[in-house]
A and B are shown apart, each in its own frame.
Chain A
Amino acid sequence: MQKRTKILLILIGVLPVSMCIAAGVGAYQILPWRIPEILFFKKDGFAVLVHVRFPRVILSAVVGAMLAISGATLQGIFRNPLADPGLIGVTAGAGLGATIWIVLIGGGALGIWGLPVAAFACGMLVTVSVWKIAEGEGKVSTLTLLLAGIALNSFAGAGIGLMTFLADDEQLRSLTFWLLGGFGGATWQVVFVTLPIAAIGLLVLSRQAAALNAMSLGESEAYHLGVSTETLKRWSIFGVALTVGAAVSAAGGIGFVGLVVPHLLRLLGGADHRYVLPGSAVGGAILLVLADLFSRTVVVPAELPVGIVTAFIGGPFFLWLLLRFKREVLL
Chain B
Amino acid sequence: MVKLENVGYQIGKQWLVRNINVTIENGALWGLVGPNGAGKSTLLRLISGELLPTTGEVRIFGKPIQSYPPKELARIRAYLQQKRDINFPFTSLEVALFGRHPYLNGTKETVDDVSIAKGALQRVEANMFEERLYPTLSGGEASRVDVARILTQAPDLFLLDEPTNHLDPRYQVRILNLCKTICSRGKTVITAIHDLNLASMCADQLLLLKDGVSVASGPPQTVLTLELLSEVYNIPFDVLPHPDGHLWVMPTVDLS
A residues whose Cβ falls under 8 Å from a Cβ of B: 79-81, 209-211, 213-214, 216-218, 220-221, 223-228, 266, 270-272, 274, 328-330
Contact = CB atoms under 8 A, between A and B. Distances in A.
Of B89, B95, B99, the most chain A CB neighbours within 10 A belong to: B89
Given A81-B88, A272-B94, 12 more contacts: A79-B86, A80-B87, A214-B98, A216-B90, A218-B81, A225-B153, A266-B89, A270-B90, A274-B108, A328-B89, A328-B135, A329-B133
A209 B104 CA distance: 12
Nearest to B94: A272
Contacts of A271: 88-90, 94
B186 interface: no
- Which are the 7 A-B pairs with shortest beta-carbon distances? A226-B74, A271-B88, A226-B102, A226-B71, A329-B135, A224-B79, A225-B101
Contact of A223 (B70, B91, B107): B70
Contact of B89 (A217, A227, A270): A270
Interface in B62-81: 70-75, 77-79, 81
B84 interface: yes
Interface residues of B, number: 34
Nearest to B78: A224
B195 interface: no
B89 A330 contact: yes
B50 interface: yes
A21 B70 CA distance: 49
B48 interface: yes
A224 B90 contact: no
Given A81-B88, A270-B91, A225 B99 contact: yes
Contacts of B168: none
Nearest to A266: B89
Given A80-B87, A81-B87, A274-B108, A217 B78 contact: no
**Majority SS at the chain A contact face:** loop
B102 to A, nearest CB: 4
Interface in B205-220: none
A328 B132 CA distance: 11
Nearest to A76: B88
A218 B88 CA distance: 12
Contacts of B70: 223, 226-228
Contacts of A210: 101, 104, 107
Given A226-B71, A227-B70, A220 B153 contact: no
Nearest to A221: B81
B177 interface: no
A213 B79 contact: no
Contacts of B108: 274
Given A224-B79, A329-B136, A272 B74 contact: no
Contacts of A227: 70, 101
Contacts of A328: 89, 133, 135-136
B86 A217 contact: yes
Contacts of B45: 220
Contacts of B101: 210-211, 213-214, 225-227
Nearest to A229: B70
Q: For B48, B73, B75, B90, which residue has the most chain A Cβ atoms within 10 angstroms? A: B90
B254 interface: no
Contacts of B244: none
B112 interface: no
Interface string B148-181: 0000010000000000000000000000000000
B227 interface: no
Contacts of B94: 213, 270-272
